[in-house]
Structure 1
Amino acid sequence: MLKIDRQKHLEEELHTYGSILISTMSQKLNCSEETIRRDLKEMESQNKLKRIHGGAFLPDADDKGAPVQLRETFFSQEKERLAACAINRFIKEGDTIFLDCSTTCLTLAKELVQRNQKMIIITNSLRIINLFSNQSSNLKLISLGGTFRQRSNSFTGYQTTDAISYYIADKCFISNSAIDLTHGLLDNNMSESQVRKAFISQSRKHYLVADHTKFSDTAEYKITDLKDIDMIITDKRLPDVWEDKLQQCNIPICYC
Structure 2
Amino acid sequence: MSLIGEERKDYILQQLNLEGKVKTYDLVEKLKVSSETIRRYLEELEEDNKLKRVYGGAIKINIAREEPSYFKREVLHAEEKRRIGRAAASLVEDNDVVFIDDGTTTLQMIDYLLNKKNLTVLTMSVAGLYMLIDYNNRGLFNGDIYFIGGKIDSPQSRSTGTLAEQMVESFYADKAFISIDGLMIDKGVTSFDAQRGQLARKLIGHSKQSIIVTDQSKFGQLQFFKIADLQEIDLIISDVAAPKEWLSALQDKEVTWIEAK
Q: Normalized against structure 2, the TM-score is what?
A: 0.68
| Structure 2 Cα separation of the partners of residues 220 and 211 of structure 1 | 19
Q: Provide the identity percentage.
A: 24
Task: Specify the alignment match of 1:29 in structure 2.
Answer: none
Question: For residue 94 of structure 2, what is the amino acid of its counterpart?
Answer: E
State the 1:150 CA deviation. Answer: 1.9
State the 1:131 CA deviation. Answer: 0.8
**Structure 1: gaps (5+ residues):** 1-66
Q: Does 1:220 align with 2:234?
A: no
| Structure 1 Cα separation of the partners of residues 99 and 232 of structure 2 | 16
| Structure 2 Cα separation of the partners of residues 107 and 119 of structure 1 | 17
8 Å contact from structure 2 (residues 89, 110) kept in 1: no
Cα deviation per residue 1:181-204 (whole Å; 9 max; x = unaligned)?
Answer: 222010000000011000000001
Question: For residue 83 of structure 2, what is the amino acid of its counterpart?
Answer: R
Matches within 5 A, 1:49-60: none
State the 1:116 CA deviation. Answer: 5.2
Return structure 1 stretches of 4+ with deviation > 6 angstroms: none
Task: Specify the alignment match of 1:121 in structure 2.
Answer: 121
| Structure 2 Cα separation of the partners of residues 228 and 75 of structure 1 | 26
Between the two proteins, the alignment pairs up a number of residues equal to 187
CA root-mean-square deviation: 1.4
Cα deviation per residue 1:152-199 (whole Å; 9 max; x = unaligned)?
Answer: 210000000000000000010111111122220100000000110000
State the 1:209 CA deviation. Answer: 1.2
**Structure 2: gaps (5+ residues):** 1-69
Cα deviation per residue 1:50-84 (whole Å; 9 max; x = unaligned)?
Answer: xxxxxxxxxxxxxxxxx54312x222211121122
State the 1:110 CA deviation. Answer: 2.6
State the 1:212 CA deviation. Answer: 1.4
Question: For residue 125 of structure 2, what is the amino acid of its counterpart?
Answer: S
8 Å contact from structure 1 (residues 68, 153) kept in 2: no
Secondary structure of 1:110's partner? Answer: helix
Matches within 5 A, 1:16-95: 68-71=71-74, 73-88=75-90, 90-95=91-96
| Structure 2 Cα separation of the partners of residues 156 and 188 of structure 1 | 13
| Structure 2 Cα separation of the partners of residues 68 and 160 of structure 1 | 22
Task: Specify the alignment match of 2:23 in structure 1.
Answer: none
| Structure 1 Cα separation of the partners of residues 81 and 72 of structure 2 | 15
8 Å contact from structure 2 (residues 110, 128) kept in 1: yes
Task: Specify the alignment match of 1:39 in structure 2.
Answer: none
Question: For residue 101 of structure 1, what is the amino acid of its counterpart?
Answer: D
8 Å contact from structure 2 (residues 183, 219) kept in 1: yes
